[in-house]
Structure formats: C-alpha cells, structure tokens
Chain A
C-alpha cells in the first residue's frame, strides 16, 4: 500500500485531555487517540454540542452566535488548529459548545482534520451541528453520511442561503432533511437567520445516552458487494472498543486512513495479519475499494443534492463575484496586493497603531503620567533601592513590563489583528496565497505558507504554531526557519517603522537588507533540506463583506490569547532583568553583547536591546525605541536589521522546540544567530564605505 508522502505529526492536540493509554513515539496523543473519553457524562440539563464542517462555511460564526463569547480563546478560523470551547444557556439548559477545525472528510489528510476527528471520537458530543454551504451540497453531504456511519447524531445546518439565492438557486431544506432523515435548518448565520430554530431544537433535543446514533434516512450511500464483503470481514476482526461503530472503522481502514491503519496494527494485535490480508485484497481489486467508497458517497450526495436544489434563475452578477474574479487576475491582483500592504500594514498598523496609538499610550499616558507618579509612590513606600527598582524606575514591573505590554505592543498587535481578520473574512487571503505561490516556490514553500508567514508579521509565536496547517514536514520546517530568521513581527515592524519612518532611505535599506537575507537564507535552506516541494491546492471562497461582529469576535479572542500569553512573559522578563542586575549576571552578558554591538559600530547599549530582544522579540524592539534618539541613521539601520534577523523571542523559541523538536530547533537557532550578526556586520561596513552619502 502506498503511503502518504508526509509523516503523521506526532505532537499532541492543542487542547486535548490526557490520553487513556500511553506509549507510542510522540508522547501524548499518539496512542489511544481514537479511544472514547470515559466518564464525563452530562446530565439532562447540560448538552454537549460540536460544530463541524469544512473551512469557510460559517462554523465560527455559529459558534459565536451560540456561545455569545469565546471562553477558550485559541481559535484562528481558517488557520484553526486548536479547538474553541464555549458555553451557552437558553431554554433552561446549559450548552457546552466546541468549534472544531475544518474537516472535509472523516478520512483525514491534514493535521487540522485529525484534531477535529480526535475531538469528536473522544468527546462523543450529544449532537453534531454539521454546517454546510447551501451552494455546494454535493460536495459537503459525503461528510454528513460519514458522520452518521460513525454513530454520531447529526443535525444539518444549511448555511449561506443568501449566496445560494444570489446564485439563482432554491434549496428545499425541509425536503433535504426528510431525504436524509436528519433535522435540517436553513440559515444565513452572518445575519442570524435560522438561529432561533436551531436554539429551540437544541433546547428540546435528547442527550446521546437516551438515543444513541442517528437513524438511517430514506437515502443512504450504497456500496458495491465487494466493498460490503470487505467491510463485513473487517467488522468480524475488530474486537477492541474504538469508540466508533466497527462499520465506520472498517470503512476508514478500507480508505487507507494512515492514522487508523497504524492504530489498528497497534491495538488489534494478533488479528492484524488477517486485517492486513483483507486490506490487501481490497487494494488489489479493480478499481481498488479505496476509491469506490468516496465515489459511492459522492454519488449519493449528488443524488440528494440534485433532488433538493433547483436552479430557478440565472446566477446574479454581484459586485463581490466580479471583484472576486478580477482579483484572481495577476495583472490586477498584484497592484491590489501592494495597496493592501500599504494601507493595511503600513498606514493602519504602522502609522495608526505603532504611531498614533503608541504615542498616546506610551508618551502621554505612561511616560508623562503613570511612571513619574509611580516612581514617587514607590520611593515613598520603600527605602531599599532593590524594591524600588523591582516595581518602578527604569526596569520596573510596571514602568517597563506593563508599559511595554500595554502601551507599545498591544496597540500594534491589536491593529494588526483587525487588519488580518478583515483579510480573512473577506475571502481575500486565499486569493493572496494563490498569487504568492510562485513567489514562495524558491523558498521551498507553497502559497499556502503565506498564511503563517503573513501571520508572522503579527506575532511570530502564533505564526510558528500555525505552521502546523502546512501539509508536509519539510514545508513546516522551512516556514519555521523563515519565521525565525527574519519575518518581523508587528511589534518589531511597528517600532522599526516608527524609528525609521522619518528617514525613508534608512527604511528602504532596512527593508532591502532583511528581504535579501530572507531570500538568500530561505533559498539555501530549501536547497539543503532534502525532499520535494509540497503540492499546492486551495479552495477559493467567494469574496464576501466581512461581518463587523465576527471581526470583533476574532480580534477580541486573539488579543485575549495574546495578552494572556504576552503579559506574564513581559513581567517575567522585568523580574529577570531585575534579578540579573541584582546578581551581577546581566552585566557580564551585556558586556559580551555590548562588545558585539561595538563591532557592528553600535553603542554598547544596543547589546542590551539584543538581550531583551531574545527575552521577548517585541521587548527588544521596544528597547530600540528608547535607543533611537541617540543614534545616527546608519547605526540605527544596522541595529534594526540585526535585531530583526536576530534569534526569535523566547516564546517563539520555546514553541519552535516544542513543535519541531530539539534538532530542528537547535539547527534554526544555530543558523539564525551568525546570519544576523554577519548581516549586521556586512551592512555596517557597506554603509561606512558609502559614508559620504547624505541621509
């Protein structure tokens, strides 16, 4: 049997519970992935609901509408690898709602899909809300059949009826529900249409303990006799509790799902040779059973889809459709890309976020009011300089830690998240990825990698996490490397822009040097790392008006996540600096880095900025802010370039080691550090050579 060309990711599900069995290669999550989660039985007044479906159908909108707020905030729709969970209360019941990553089919290809499947199998929710796009029922109903085969209780949410109407279609939602034997709801979730019916239904729906599984409907997928014989043979051989009906497990095995095959070999032990023999026979059949199952699912889905959807009018030509098609034209798409980058990133994030907002919060609020006031209060309370400096003054918890987090980083990252959410929700991001595919090829990356790379312009730590959505290990490593080397995060970007903005030549030199280092470094890495480039494919969603509510939801969720993650590190960094100064360890490290800084033609204090830059990339960037007034333009550019290319921040480093393992982590760090110093050195020499050039 041919293997899929990428290894199974072995890291644990982000928010997974403890697995029931241990062993395997990747610690938690490798073993017992498909085992049901014991206990956790809900009462009559609590119902557990999971929202499933493929990407871009409105799952997170439904989640936001049902829960009202994000409780577990770690959700990046479209780039989701983690699971958002929230609570809702209505009709005298509490609903525990989970929003799962995009799932196209129960036979998983991507890490996102595996995360979603594991969640469903472990949690056994009382009800699944399968959200489908009303325009593309043929494509989406195969998953509905699979979910039912897997013993879940499924209600169908036929969403985006407005887009279906615009496409000239009428959808008989009630007829569809009857044909499938499932509750079905027609909705326009962005406008809240159909939501009341879903809530009323869930308020009265029985928990799974009372009525396990969904009853079969009048229309069921029919498999050929050879497939059914193989299913029957496998069903007789599967004896352990998979948490799924044996028929569903048999069908997954026959479709060659690598995770399930591996699991079967592990848990069915003595029966594995017999199972493997059945699978080999099924594979040898012409056509292989592996292909017959999805085709049967699609055939049935098409029958049901054709019966319940009718074209009653020609598709309406909407502005979104015209614009969406136009943006696929490279001749127009590339200039638009430039405009989006200029207004979205440079003007909005760089100008408004890093300029106006930082100015107001940092200079007006902290530097001229909060800090002087706190210095006086703390000086009045403590006589020892040790305590005075822990809380206030130059490196205090509040005067430095809280100030950087709230006044410098928050506005920059916040504005970036708003801009990113607009790009995501409008459907522009996939169009961008498509145009970027050719550009990223030399770096060994596909257009898909644009999403983590663009996110890296917001926060490198988050972006490193999102590289999980890439499909091959090779691509994940290359993207991690590029992110660590020199994709500046929004805090760095904002500060660099703020510091260099008044000297456009300096900004240009910075941009060119960093880009050159990225291209050279990335190309070399792609050449050196063995393996083939990842194939690129992507569904292009229609262009849509982003809903303000959803943008707010996403931005708030990401800000909360970021703040929860960032504030402790900022405060810890303040304490580390305080301890370092107290014990005398810092002066030593600072002396070394200061010497390196001198070598680059920078003042010694730049060494301090580099050190802080490691503790927190954006922290160092913020330090540059303080350093800037005393520096000449060439020195400032060298400092900015070195800092941008320098090792990623502590949080990103930790995540890099966690996600990619120590070997890749060390290799990346070992490459990035000398490259940053070398680039800074070369640049400082080059600038000295053209020293006569007036800035």
Chain B
C-alpha cells in the first residue's frame, strides 16, 4: 500500500455528490497536512462518500464526517467505485 501514486488522476475534488470512491493515496508534498488527513481517517483503502461539494467538500469516511477545502481535496487521489 503506497501513499504517493503519481499516475492516478482522479481526486476527491473531482467526485460528484453521492459518489463513492476508494482512497488510493494522500499526496505528501505537504507532510503535515497529509498526516493530518490520515489521522482523520482518509487512509488508503478506505471507502468515502461525498456528501457535499459546496461551500467545501464534505465526505463520509467510515463513521467520520470530514470537511475539507478544494485545495486539500485535490491532494487525495481516489478510485471511483461503481454504485
């Protein structure tokens, strides 16, 4: 399981409301924030569901609801899950 996967294109910021995705990686350009997102439950392998896109991104990861702005959401690469 890797944290950085430069090849993947889709990020949390690209998902529509209601879509589910699997977290692939949290970019580490900014280690402190990457770590924080990890601690808040955005761990590779976890499934997230997008609750809102505005005014900020709100996602459900496990039993945690997390709000993050576009800047951070773009750092989380995901794989879209079929619904």
Contacts and interface: CB of A to CB of B under 8 A. Distances in A.
A139 B68 contact: no
A537 B35 contact: no
Contact of A537 (B28, B37, B44, B51): B37
Interface in A624-653: none
Contact of B66 (A294, A437, A537): A537
Contact of B69 (A109, A430, A537): A537
B71 A535 contact: yes
B80 interface: no
B82 interface: no
Contacts of B6: none
A542 B28 CA distance: 29
B64 interface: yes
Interface string B44-81: 10000001101110100011111111011000000000
A2 B29 contact: yes
B38 A537 contact: no
Interface in A319-377: 325, 328-330
Nearest to A537: B68
A295 B39 contact: no
Contacts of B32: 4-6, 109
A287 B56 contact: no
B65 A109 contact: no
Interface in A525-564: 533, 535-542
A447 B30 contact: no
The number of chain B residues touching the other chain, given as a range, is 35 or more
A328 B52 contact: yes
A522 interface: no
B37 A139 contact: no
Contact of B35 (A2, A107, A330): A107
A446 B58 CA distance: 15
A203 B46 CA distance: 41
A2 B34 CA distance: 12
A136 interface: yes
B3 A291 contact: yes
B15 interface: no
A685 interface: no
Interface string A410-435: 00000000000000000000100011
Nearest to A309: B63
Contacts of A328: 51-52, 58
B40 interface: yes
B39 A437 contact: no
B3 A330 contact: no
Given A4-B30, A437-B55, A536-B69, A298 B38 contact: yes
Interface in A281-328: 287-288, 290-291, 294-295, 298, 325, 328
A315 to B, nearest CB: 9
Interface in A1-15: 2, 4-6
A138 B62 contact: yes
Given A5-B32, A287-B4, A538-B66, A136 B39 contact: no
Contacts of A105: 35, 39
Contacts of A186: none
Contact of A434 (B4, B44, B55): B55
B30 A295 contact: no
A2 B30 CA distance: 8
Interface string A116-143: 0000000000000000000110110010
Given A167-B63, A295-B44, A539-B65, A287 B71 contact: no
A325 B66 contact: no
Nearest to A104: B39
B83 interface: no
Interface in A235-275: 255-256
A139 B62 contact: yes
B50 to A, nearest CB: 12
A430 B51 CA distance: 16
B3 A295 contact: yes
A290 B35 CA distance: 9
A294 B39 contact: yes
Given A5-B32, A105-B35, A536-B72, A295 B66 contact: no
Given A295-B44, A330-B55, A536 B68 contact: yes
A2 B68 contact: no
19 contacts: A5-B30, A5-B32, A104-B39, A107-B35, A135-B63, A256-B31, A290-B31, A298-B43, A330-B54, A434-B56, A434-B67, A437-B69, A446-B69, A447-B67, A535-B30, A535-B69, A536-B56, A539-B67, A541-B65
Given A6-B32, A430-B67, 11 more contacts: A5-B32, A136-B64, A138-B41, A290-B31, A325-B51, A447-B56, A535-B69, A537-B36, A537-B72, A540-B58, A542-B65
